[in-house]
Amino acid sequence: MPKTKLLMTGNEAMAEGALQAACRFYAGYPITPQNELIAYMAKRMPEVGGICIQAESELAAINMVFGAALVGERAMTSSSSPGISLKQEGISYIAGAQLPAVIVNVMRGGPGLGNISPSQSDYFQATKSGGHGDYHSIVLAPSSVQEAYDFMSLAFELADKYRNPAIVLSDGMLGQMMEPLIVKSKIQNPKSKINKPWALTGCKGRKPNIIRSLYLGEGALEELNLALQKKYKLIQEKEARWEELFLSDAKIILVAYGTMARIAKSVVKRLREQGKKIGLIRPITLWPFPKNAFKLANSQTRKLANFLVIEMSYGQMLEDVRLAVAGKAKIEFLGRAGGGVPSEEEIISKLRKLI
Binding residues for other proteins (CB under 8 A): 24-25, 27, 51, 53, 55-57, 59-61, 63-68, 70-71, 73, 75, 89-90, 93, 97, 200-205, 208-214, 216
The DSSP output letter for 66 is: H
Q: What is the dihedral of CA 153, 127, 282, 309, to 10 degrees?
A: 160
**Which CB, 51 or 187, lies closer to other proteins?**
51
Closest approach, Cβ 175 to other proteins, in A, equals 25
CB atoms within 10 A of CB 277: 16
Q: Give the helix/strand (H/E) hosting 165.
A: strand 165-171
Angle made by CA atoms 169, 170, 175, in degrees to the nearest 5: 155
Q: Give the helix/strand (H/E) hosting 245.
A: strand 242-245
Counting every residue written for the chain, the total comes to: 355
**Which CB, 200 or 296, lies closer to other proteins?**
200
**Which CB, 83 or 258, lies closer to other proteins?**
83
What is the C-alpha separation between 193 and 171, in angstroms, rounded?
A: 29
Closest approach, Cβ 23 to other proteins, in A, equals 12
What is the C-alpha separation between 118 and 108, in angstroms, rounded?
A: 4
What is the C-alpha separation between 114 and 131, in angstroms, rounded?
A: 21
Closest approach, Cβ 103 to other proteins, in A, equals 15
**Which CB, 58 or 147, lies closer to other proteins?**
58
Backbone torsion region of residue 264, taken as left when φ is above 0, otherwise alpha when ψ lies between -120 and 50, otherwise beta: alpha
Closest approach, Cβ 220 to other proteins, in A, equals 12
Closest approach, Cβ 337 to other proteins, in A, equals 31
What is the C-alpha separation between 102 and 159, in angstroms, rounded?
A: 7
**Which CB, 201 or 229, lies closer to other proteins?**
201
Query: How many CA atoms lie within 13 Å of 269's alpha carbon, on the beta-carbon side?
Result: 7
What is the C-alpha separation between 313 and 122, in angstroms, rounded?
A: 8
**Which CB, 202 or 275, lies closer to other proteins?**
202
Q: Give the helix/strand (H/E) hosting 281.
A: strand 278-283
The DSSP output letter for 339 is: T
Closest approach, Cβ 210 to other proteins, in A, equals 5
Closest approach, Cβ 15 to other proteins, in A, equals 18
**Which CB, 7 or 214, lies closer to other proteins?**
214
**Which CB, 2 or 208, lies closer to other proteins?**
208
Q: Give the helix/strand (H/E) hosting 68.
A: helix 58-70
Closest approach, Cβ 59 to other proteins, in A, equals 7
Per the CB < 8 A criterion, the answer to whether 176 and 170 are in contact is no
